[in-house]
Amino acid sequence: MDQNWWKGAVIYQIYPRSYCDSTGNGTGDLAGITSKIDYIASLGVDAIWLSPFQTSPMRDFGYDVADYCDVDPLFGNLNDFDDFIDAAHQRGIKVIIDMVLSHTSDLHPWFVESRKDSTNPKADWYVWQDPKADGTAPNNWLSVFGGSAWQYCSHRGQYFLHSFLTTQADLNLHNPDVQDAVLDACRFWLKRGVDGFRLDAMSHYFHHLSLADNPAAEANFGNTQLDHLEPYSMQFHKYDKAQPEIYDFLKRIRSLMDEFGATMTVGEVGEDDPLRASGRYTAGDDMLHTCYNLSLMMGQDKKLTVNTLREPLEYYESLDIAGWPAWAFCNHDVVRVASRWGQQNNGEENPEFAKMLIALLTCLRGTVFLYQGEELGLPEAQLKFEELQDPWGIYLYPKWQGRDGCRTPMVWNTIPQTNYGFSSVAAKPWLPVSDKHIGKDVATQESNTESVLNFTREFLKFRKTRPALITGDIHFIDSGSETLLIFDRTLDGVTCRCIFNLANAAQSFEGQDFPAFAYRIDDK
């Protein structure tokens, strides 16, 4: 098998709750995904990234794991997972899954035991600390989801650390027994046939043992997709994450992956300089294969210009420690790209803008990730407050509706009684189908040769005929326009010149005319 299959691969992210409901309970499941495997194969993607499906109380929709080695009944069972893996592999599609190793649910048996007292066998499997003399939290660390990162537990008379929800307790990965336990969980899924892992929130794996206060930030780092300053972004996260102990742990992960041959890891990096961190975490054959960051997914009021793409890519390429990059325009945590850039570039509902974005993303140097519905050009859904499920969105509303707007159900057909193909019966889905998605469903687009869906299929097929677009070097060309992006991809002396008009207006370059949102790939 090709050990480097992941290099330059196109990986399709599936959010299981929202892909296809086979049981009619209003929530997507593994059997539903398997029923759509021929559709996924028709896209021409190389792999699937499956968001969490393990046992969980679903306070953060699977990112609060209560059992690493089982399927939550909401999504099916281990047999359903095996069927999905087999169906994907039969079609030549790799599967990577989310592994949330930085924290667990407070209902995980490890935490239930750990909180009993300070002497039990798992007493230090989580991060516990006495209150200050006045009863307040041990330091000023903040949760990403708001408030203090410390929660008092009356069982132990101590605080425990939670970088996210109070029901998501941070594991103490300084403890080698904890490392062994989570690596055993990874081994369980590798033996079951998965081809790799997306390592969620990996920047939070280790904290500084001094528990020193974080200093104030000099700029609004962190959650810059928000259009306002919120407390987490007011700190420079010097002590609560991204500590040097992570390197040895990542080497342990890589050593495990190498036991299973053609596997891969992609780490989710959330740091003040995510690109440099991505380079550090992928430098060398004993670290991660690639890292995934939010550089091209942030700023909901940001206009798409040449520098939006060129600056982060050139910065990454300039790093002397950089490994192989990974890029995405959207995922389950951010505003859909058709809206995020489309609203500023007058292209939110324009299928030509969506097509151009597909071509642009998959021409960048790196492994690329497409999020479900991106191949349809779906815009962000707008929800009412009473429809929100995301605890982060409920906390931040009305400044931001949170992550539910990108998580609404996939639209498969035009039949309202089945929630546009999402449910097998007329169940109420966990989130409503967006009115903005009706008419953009798979069935409608399959019958239209000019649709975003059919464009995606044809472009990914074309991309496979141009090796330079997959693993070639990248070099940017000055166009003289802030909305005309030009770069060359070169491999073994063969160059593809890529030209993208990012504007909703015609432009020209060296005698070539480019209509609004047009692109051109020239063999040189």
- Distance between CA 122 and CA 114 in Å, rounded? 5
Name the 3-class secondary structure at 371.
Answer: strand
Rounded CA gap, 154 and 383, in Å?
Answer: 38
The number of angstroms, rounded, from the C-alpha of 375 to the middle of its chain's C-alpha atoms is 16
Catalytic residue ranges:
200, 259
**Token match 């499956």: residue?**
50
The CA distance from 72 to 105, in Å, is: 13
Instruction: Say which residues have a Cβ less than 8 Å from residue 311's Cβ, sequence separation at least 6.
Output: none
Element containing residue 372 per DSSP (H, E): none
* Angle CA 68–73–77, to nearest 5: 75
β pairing state of 158-161 and 290-293:
unpaired
Q: Judge contact between 400 and 41, C-beta under 8 A.
A: no
Whether residue 236 contacts residue 213, with contact meaning beta carbons closer than 8 Å, is answered with no
CA angle, residues 360, 449, 423, in degrees to nearest 5: 90
- Environment class of 342 (CB within 10 Å of its CB; exposed 0-12, middle 13-18, buried 19+): buried
Contacts of 346 (CB under 8 A, 6+ apart): 504
Do residues 265 and 279 touch, judged by C-beta distance below 8 A?
A: no
Residue 317: how many other CB atoms lie within 10 Å: 16
User: 209-215: long-range contacts (C-beta < 8 A, 24 or more apart)?
Assistant: 209/174, 210/239, 211/129, 211/138, 211/139, 211/239, 212/139, 212/238, 212/239, 213/139, 213/140, 213/141, 213/239, 214/139, 214/140, 214/141, 214/142, 214/238, 214/239, 214/240
CB 466: neighbour CB atoms within 10 A? Answer: 16
